[in-house]
């Protein structure tokens, strides 16, 4: 681990001195303007149990490499934002699991000030990826507007970050535990394009379709790359959500999942789970309720998203070699 990116004069906001430490491999890839795909660490530490988390992560990295890009796991270690971990470092994170605290964008400065570690959510991973010059990021599902948000105000910081940070996030939509119609409305308000990848329906994580229509469908990575470059031609543009449904053979049926989700939400309410603990609680509860089938779907969709993200990163590189 070495290679610290220095902010270039005239880039970033005034007084910006954030640093991202890059692994040798990621540093070399970025220096050569080769395609890189960011991967998040919250899913590793809080989204899936050990060893499924590590296996899924390894399979995602392999998928990225197979498609010709370099994977960059993003997280914070002892206060330092990092892009690119060695195998043993990633394994240590996966084993540490929930003892590594879940960190969103607002935590990045404090973790640095206190030399603490953090597993980065979609939001924090986007912020670090953008600072490092990584434009494409693969995850499972984004956070969004929670059910009951009118009462709890629980809306993921992922949405805010998508509105302002120029990274394409490839995800299987948003988790079905959320209020998906409100999540889509919020994305529209925030100016975030949602590109259906081979679909005209918003995916619901373990479920292929939510029944909610998408206006924009792209059928291959080249089409997505073209849309990204055109979008980023506008000064106020931020992130883009590329919505890739879970592979058919691992998908869970929508009608069956709805009652499982209702039961899990009721369990969360009964247990008094709130705030940032809600998502990890529901994910593990659902794994138990589906006898592990939600984990199979989760793994399959993460790997599929990693492959699609890599193809998009390669297409972006081909379309704009001097970016």
Q: Which of 40, 61, 67, 161 is catalytic?
A: 40
DSSP codes joined into one string, 208-255: S--S-B-SEEE-SHHHHHHHHHHHTTSTT---EEEE-PPPGGGPPPHH
Q: Name which position in 61, 107, 154, 161 contacts Mn ion (CB under 5 A).
A: 154
- DSSP helix/strand/coil, 31: helix
For the question of residue 40 being annotated catalytic, the response is yes
Partner in contact with 196, chosen from ligand PSU, Mn ion, none, beta carbon below 5 to 8 Å by kind: none
Determine the Cα–Cα distance for residues 285 and 261; give it in Å rounded to an integer: 9
Cis peptide before 27 (omega within 30 of 0): no
Residue 244 found at the interface with ligand PSU (CB under 6 A): no
DSSP class of residue 237 equals -
Please, which residue, 121 or 304, has the CB nearer to Mn ion? Answer: 121
Residue 161 found at the interface with ligand PSU (CB under 6 A): no
DSSP class of residue 148 equals T
- Are 115 and 149 contacting, i.e. CB atoms less than 8 angstroms apart? no
Annotate each residue in 40-79 with x if it binds ligand PSU (CB under 6 A) or - if it does not, as one string. Answer: x-xx--xx--------------------------------
Annotate each residue in 108-147 with x if it binds Mn ion (CB under 5 A) or - if it does not, as one string. Answer: ----------------------------------------
Please, which residue, 23 or 41, has the CB nearer to ligand PSU? Answer: 41
Of 192, 29, 42, 47, nearest to 125 by C-alpha is 42
Query: CB nearest ligand PSU: which residue?
Result: 140
For the question of residue 27 being annotated catalytic, the response is no
- Are 136 and 36 contacting, i.e. CB atoms less than 8 angstroms apart? yes
Span from 22-30, 128-136, 150-158, 206-214 in contact with ligand PSU (CB under 6 A): 150-158
Sheet of strand 136-138, all strands in order from the earlier edge strand to the far edge: 20-22, 80-83, 70-77, 36-39, 136-138, 168-171, 240-243, 194-197, 216-218
Binding-site size, ligand PSU (CB under 6 A): 19
**Smallest distance from the beta carbon of 156 to ligand PSU, in angstroms?**
3
* Contacting residues toward ligand PSU, per CB under 6 A: 40, 42-43, 46-47, 121-123, 139-141, 143, 156-158, 276, 279, 283, 298
The catalytic residue positions are: 40, 175
């Amino acid at each position: 681990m070495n290679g610290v990116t220095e902010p270039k004069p005239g880039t970033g906001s005034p007084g910006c001195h954030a640093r991202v430490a890059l692994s040798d491999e990621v540093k070399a890839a970025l220096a050569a303007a080769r395609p890189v795909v960011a991967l998040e660490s919250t899913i590793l530490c809080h989204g899936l149990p050990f060893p499924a988390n590590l296996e899924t992560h390894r399979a995602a990295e392999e998928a990225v490499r197979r498609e010709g890009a370099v994977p960059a796991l993003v997280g914070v270690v002892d206060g330092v934002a990092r892009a690119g971990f060695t195998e043993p470092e990633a394994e240590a994170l996966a084993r540490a699991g929930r003892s590594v605290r879940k960190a969103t964008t607002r935590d990045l400065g404090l973790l640095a000030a206190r030399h603490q570690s953090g597993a980065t959510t979609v939001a924090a991973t986007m912020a670090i990826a953008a600072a490092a010059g990584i434009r494409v990021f693969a995850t499972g599902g984004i956070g969004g507007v929670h059910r009951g948000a009118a009462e709890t105000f629980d809306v993921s910081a992922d949405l805010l970050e998508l509105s302002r940070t120029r990274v394409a996030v490839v995800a299987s939509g948003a988790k079905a535990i959320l209020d998906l119609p409100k999540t889509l409305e919020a994305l529209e308000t925030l100016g975030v394009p949602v590109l259906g990848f081979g679909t005209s329906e918003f995916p619901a994580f373990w479920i292929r379709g939510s029944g909610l229509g998408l206006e924009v469908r792209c059928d291959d990575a080249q089409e997505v790359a073209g849309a990204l470059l055109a979008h980023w031609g506008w000064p106020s543009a931020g992130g883009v959500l590329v919505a890739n449904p879970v592979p058919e053979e691992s998908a869970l049926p929508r009608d069956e999942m709805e009652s499982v989700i209702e039961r899990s939400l009721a369990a969360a309410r009964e247990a008094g789970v709130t705030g940032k603990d809600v998502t990890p609680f529901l994910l593990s509860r659902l794994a138990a309720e589906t006898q592990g089938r939600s984990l199979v779907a989760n793994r399959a969709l993460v790997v599929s998203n990693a492959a699609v993200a890599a193809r998009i990163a390669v297409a972006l590189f081909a379309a704009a070699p001097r970016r």
